[in-house]
Amino acid sequence: MSIEFKNQIVRDLEWVISSPPFFDNLFLYPSVHFLTHDFFNSEFEQFKPQLYLLDKNPESLADHILFGNNKLLGKYFESLVEFWLLHSKRFEILSKGIQVDVNGETLGEFDFILRDRLLNKFIHLEAAGKYYLSLNNSENWESFIGPNPNDNLQRKMLKLLNDQINLGKTDPGKIKLAELGITKLETAIMIKGYFFYHLKYFLSDSFCIPEFSLPNHQKGWWLRFGEAENLKYIKTERWIVLKRQNWISKAVTENSTELFDLNSLLSFLKSYFEFNHYPLLIASMELQDNYFVESTRGFVVSDLWPDLNFIH
């Protein structure tokens, strides 16, 4: 297998467009449109020539990323989505991040207001990149918890489905849309990321996926620091600890000095969790065409996770 794109940010952009979403549609919310995996596959094929050009000269993408406030992973994800939409043949961005205020308080924000050139209609798109760990091996959304336990799938989806996507139906939202000359608006949701399952269920292929989610969603595993010895059951000789800005696409490196063997990884984890409680994302790496490429990924979490009092 060859490495198709050499630049990390180009691989991240590729992932944002081509990876499967968490959900295609939810029969509980028939009025809500989720952008489908087929849609993303089609968009990716259209966009692929631009990705090859960007890989040769990524300056415009790099400048776009630097221009945004991308220290937070969610903002970086949104910035990649924005770049895709800005250079899509199908969509025109009419506005991004428009806040709707009532009496000085923010009611909500439109992530993107788009014009669909193909279907000649206006779309309110909500986009999010998320990482959730399955706490109880249950299909219940509330048991899928973020690395920061303030966040879980249930809370995010209810906010998305009940509040964010309906912003254009509120009177203040309608006023804001009228300023753009829009009276009729359709809605769409793009939510992508990874679901992580406890290592024992992941390795035995006995994990429960979230209710209504696409079976082919992006997957990983997790375990507590106190269980770290069980990493030996993952067949690899090399590991990498991923910086948060590198959480999106598969890890790729030519630099073997970034890599750990299992013993050195366990020593690193011990020193880290002695003073820190925030989860670490690590990946097993395999050699392919002179590159080390991620084969699986997973979180190592504090033995106290998901106790909010100990997450920093």
Assess if residue 234 is contained within a domain.
Answer: no
Stated pTM of the model: 0.95
- Rounded CA-CA distance 251/253 in Å is 7
pLDDT bin (cut points 50, 70, 90) of residue 311 is low
**3-11 mean pLDDT:** 93
Look at residue 308 and tell me whether its pLDDT is greater than 70. no
Look at residue 310 and tell me whether its pLDDT is greater than 70. no
Look at residue 236 and tell me whether its pLDDT is greater than 90. yes
Q: Is the dihedral of CA 37, 116, 74, 170 positive or negative?
A: negative
Residue 249: HSE in the Cβ half-sphere, 13 Å Cα cutoff: 21
* Contact (CB, 8 A) for 227 and 302: no
At residue 72, the pLDDT reads 82
Q: Which domain holds residue 176?
A: 8-222
How many domains are there within the chain?
Answer: 1
Kindly state the tokens that stand for 312.
């920093």
At residue 1, the pLDDT reads 40
What is the Cα 298 distance to its own chain's centre?
14
Helices 73-86 and 59-67 cross at an angle (nearest 10°) of 130
Assess if residue 87 is contained within a domain.
Answer: yes
- Rounded CA-CA distance 2/241 in Å is 22
Assess if residue 142 is contained within a domain.
Answer: yes
Assess if residue 237 is contained within a domain.
Answer: no
Query: What is the share, in percent, of the chain residues with pLDDT greater than 90?
Result: 87
pLDDT bin (cut points 50, 70, 90) of residue 307 is confident
pLDDT bin (cut points 50, 70, 90) of residue 191 is very high
Residues 131-171 pLDDT 10s: 999 999 999 999 999 999 999 999 999 999 999 999 999 99
Look at residue 70 and tell me whether its pLDDT is greater than 90. no
Assess if residue 81 is contained within a domain.
Answer: yes
- Rounded CA-CA distance 69/212 in Å is 33
Assess if residue 304 is contained within a domain.
Answer: no
Kindly state the tokens that stand for 270.
């011990």
Assess if residue 138 is contained within a domain.
Answer: yes
* Contact (CB, 8 A) for 190 and 25: no
- Rounded CA-CA distance 111/156 in Å is 15
Assess if residue 69 is contained within a domain.
Answer: yes
At residue 31, the pLDDT reads 82
Residues 200-216 pLDDT 10s: 999 999 999 999 999 99
At residue 104, the pLDDT reads 80
Mean pLDDT, the chain, as a whole number?
93
Residue 123: HSE in the Cβ half-sphere, 13 Å Cα cutoff: 23
